[in-house]
């Protein structure tokens, strides 16, 4: 571990590329809870890789044009004495290399495909709302939520919690057109004047999911449910499957 404040600062700065990579990568995959050791190892190894790539490029530039770069040999031999003499160029190159490493890490996180093995942390929500729509080529996912109090709420999926743990703390957001039914047997009605509604997983008894090949207009509620399917549905129907957090998820 670093023995001085400056060493600690430099150590943390060198970990920036790894943190950028891990954070950007987690945005594209289900969020999972890992041990502190595992998370630290991911950040450190990624930082070493991207810092090494950028330093290799710096070495090539140093070899081709020594006058453009700081004298690393003098920096090693003289230390602070050289840093005081050429602090401007050292600062400029340090910031440039750090920014380059962070950009490379971000690009790698977005462009590198996931490995061919199964993703063991996929939750039912991730499968229903991300994996399956992509497989059937759906442009829109229409979700109906039967709540524990007997009411029903449906709308276009706008956002959902990505964590792998299927807990009641998760939430999903539905966008217009919104449909609401206060209790079983009551007629459904459109919710107007609202753009989004948030639903907690702890209040959901089960979900119905319909994949559409178009985004419905705000005033048009897609026909779903037993009264008759929607001609724009994509994918086969599936029977309800239980999910943690007291929600089950049939996919239509």
> Is this structure's pTM higher than 0.75?
no
- Cα(160)–Cα(197) distance, rounded to whole angstroms? 12
Predicted confidence (pLDDT) per residue in 170-215, tens digit: 899 999 889 999 888 888 888 888 889 999 988 999 999 999 988 8
Q: In the beta sheet, which residues pair with residue 180?
A: 153, 189
Instruction: Kindly list the domain boundaries of the chain, sorted by start residue.
Output: 5-111, 124-248
Pick the CATH number of 124-248 from 3.40.190.10, 1.10.260.40, 2.30.30.100, 3.50.50.60: 2.30.30.100
Measured from the Cβ of residue 167, the count of other Cβ atoms closer than 10 Å reads 13
Cβ atoms of 193 and 237 closer than 8 Å: no
- The first and second tokens of residue 124, run together, are 């039912």
Sign of CA dihedral 242, 245, 251, 252: positive
**Confidence label for 247 from pLDDT (cuts 50, 70 and 90):** very low
CA distance 68 to 197: 56
Mean pLDDT of 53-67: 91
């Amino acid at each position: 571990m670093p023995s001085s404040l400056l060493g600690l600062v430099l150590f943390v700065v060198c970990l920036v590329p790894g943190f950028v990579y891990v954070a950007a990568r987690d945005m594209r995959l289900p969020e999972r809870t890992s041990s502190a050791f595992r998370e630290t190892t991911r950040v450190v190894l990624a930082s070493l890789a991207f810092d090494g790539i950028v330093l290799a490029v710096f070495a090539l530039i140093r070899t081709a044009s020594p006058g453009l770069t700081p004298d690393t040999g003098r920096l090693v031999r003289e230390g602070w004495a050289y840093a005081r003499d050429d602090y401007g160029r050292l600062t400029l190159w340090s910031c440039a290399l750090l920014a380059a490493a962070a950009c490379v890490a971000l690009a790698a996180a977005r462009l590198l495909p996931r490995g061919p093995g199964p993703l063991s942390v996929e939750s039912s929500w991730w499968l229903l709302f991300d994996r399956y729509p992509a497989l059937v080529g759906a442009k829109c996912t229409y979700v109906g939520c039967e709540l524990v109090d007997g009411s029903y709420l449906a709308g276009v999926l706008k956002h959902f919690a990505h964590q792998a743990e299927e807990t009641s703390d998760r939430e999903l957001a539905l966008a217009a057109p919104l449909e609401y039914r206060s209790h079983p047997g009551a007629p459904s009605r459109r919710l107007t004047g609202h753009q989004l509604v948030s639903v907690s997983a702890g209040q959901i008894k089960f979900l119905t999911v319909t994949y559409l090949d178009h985004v419905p207009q705000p005033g048009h509620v897609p026909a779903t449910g037993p009264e008759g399917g929607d001609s724009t549905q994509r994918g086969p129907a599936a029977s309800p499957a239980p999910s943690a957090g007291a929600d089950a998820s049939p996919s239509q």
